[in-house]
Amino acid sequence: MIRIAILGATGYTARELLGLLLRHPEVEVRALTTRQETQPHVAEVHPSLRGRLDLKLENLTTAEVAKRADCVFGCLPHAASAAVISELLDAGCRVVDFSADYRLDDPQVYTKWYQVEHPDPDRMPKTVYGLPELFRESIRGAHLVANPGCYPTAAILALAPLLKAGAIAPRGIVIDAKSGVTGAGRSPKANLHFPEANENLTPYGVGEHRHTPEIDLILSKWAAVETNVVFTPHLIPMDRGELITAYADITAEWSTETLLEILQDYYADEPFVRVIEGLPGTKQVANTNFCDVTVRQVGDKAVVFGAIDNLIKGASGAAVQNFNLMYDFPETTALL
């Protein structure tokens, strides 16, 4: 039994993670932390979990967490996350970090996009990016895994094999992304108030979204090219689900069929990437750890689609998949 702690257990990703871990035969959830002073029962914070887990959220020190848990899932905000995680690693815990802190490899790029000094810069370039479809072998046995952002997951899974195959040009890729509202977190805000977000469709963070450098870094590194994606996210009036529609110049006489073949070949043995011939819908992946990808040739462009559940494959499901790899459990445990 691996003893588990979740840091910052009040949000949607923690709730989804708990739902998955409660089905995992090899784990026991031992600690849930919050930075609030009150110690609410998990059933108060996440009423859907009432009757499934009898645990309080607690304001625990890092030392207390390290005493109770073998593996820690960190759902803390960036910068706060690395500060705690570096201590947990030193104390011998393994960590899956949901924050962005260990996804980038360059502290200066981090500071530019996150407007804060990185508290643990040395670990940045050494940390594996937790996308098993690209970095499986490095994740096996790792002590720290940087769980990918939701948009990067869908974008990279859709684009990476085409880039590596040289079928699409690395420069000028447009990623038009759409996400359900859980992607914006659980804190009430004016634009996320039901009567504002419902029946509405809005772009946000145009040209400024922090997933931009993450997508460029991983695509460029893995495919050995240099990308400069233009990334535009939009808020969709639904709970969960994320679709990226990417546009890239085709480099040669590629057709829909030959582009699809590249994806099919690359993902032939992947348990959680489905290369589909029809067009994707986020509902087909909702509440699952699947990523559905497909591609169409339209004129000189490849139009590439990737659909995930932003809370599962885009966060908590990916974390469990990484956890399974880290501890050598079957990769799909608790995820099907």
Instruction: Tell me which residues in 281-300 interact with its own copies (CB under 8 A).
Output: 281-288, 290, 292, 296-300
Angstrom distance (rounded) from CA 274 to CA 286: 14
Query: Where does this chain touch its own copies (CB under 8 A) — which range of 67-75, 123-131, 158-166, 269-277?
Result: 269-277
Active-site entry in 71, 75, 93, 150: 150
Structure tokens at 270: 């992947």
Task: Find out whether 269 and 203 touch, Cβ atoms under 8 Å.
Answer: no
Among residues 75, 87, 91, the alpha carbon closest in space to that of 33 is found at: 75
Task: Write the DSSP symbol of residue 191.
Answer: G
Output 5 or 229, the one with its CB closest to its own copies: 229
Binders of its own copies in range 45-84 (CB under 8 A): 47-48, 50-52
Output 35 or 186, the one with its CB closest to its own copies: 186
Cβ of residue 12: shortest distance to its own copies, in angstroms? 7
The only residue of 132, 149, 280, 314 in contact with its own copies, by rule CB under 8 A: 280
Output 122 or 269, the one with its CB closest to its own copies: 269
Cβ of residue 3: shortest distance to its own copies, in angstroms? 20
SS (H, E, C) 37-59: CCCCEHHHHCHHHCCCCCCEEEC
20 lies in the site for its own copies, by CB under 8 A: no
Query: Where does this chain touch its own copies (CB under 8 A) — which range of 44-52, 113-121, 138-146, 158-166?
Result: 44-52
Which backbone phi and psi does 312 adopt, to 5 degrees?
-100, -85
Output 138 or 256, the one with its CB closest to its own copies: 256
Output 35 or 283, the one with its CB closest to its own copies: 283
Site string for its own copies, 92-111 (x = CB under 8 A): --------------------
| CA 16 to chain centroid | 13
DSSP string, 103-114: T-S-HHHHHHHH
Surface-to-core class of residue 284, CB atoms within 10 Å of its CB (0-12 exposed, 13-18 middle, 19+ buried):
middle
| CA 179 to chain centroid | 13
Task: Write the DSSP symbol of residue 74.
Answer: E
Contacts of 2 (CB under 8 A, 6+ apart): 26, 27, 28, 70, 71, 327
Binders of its own copies in range 218-247 (CB under 8 A): 228, 230, 232, 234, 236-241, 243, 245, 247
194 lies in the site for its own copies, by CB under 8 A: yes
312 lies in the site for its own copies, by CB under 8 A: no
Site string for its own copies, 105-144 (x = CB under 8 A): ----------------------------------------
Output 120 or 242, the one with its CB closest to its own copies: 242
Interface with its own copies: number of residues (CB under 8 A): 75
Surface-to-core class of residue 237, CB atoms within 10 Å of its CB (0-12 exposed, 13-18 middle, 19+ buried):
middle
Task: Find out whether 57 and 49 touch, Cβ atoms under 8 Å.
Answer: no
Active site residue 150: yes
Cβ of residue 146: shortest distance to its own copies, in angstroms? 25
Give the other-Cβ count within 10 Å of 188's Cβ: 8
The only residue of 80, 91, 225, 276 in contact with its own copies, by rule CB under 8 A: 276
Output 128 or 235, the one with its CB closest to its own copies: 235
Cβ of residue 107: shortest distance to its own copies, in angstroms? 23
Which SS3 state, helix, strand or coil, does residue 140 take? coil
Cβ of residue 137: shortest distance to its own copies, in angstroms? 23
Angstrom distance (rounded) from CA 97 to CA 79: 11
Binders of its own copies in range 150-179 (CB under 8 A): 172, 174, 176, 178
Angstrom distance (rounded) from CA 109 to CA 96: 22
User: So which residues are the catalytic ones?
Assistant: 150
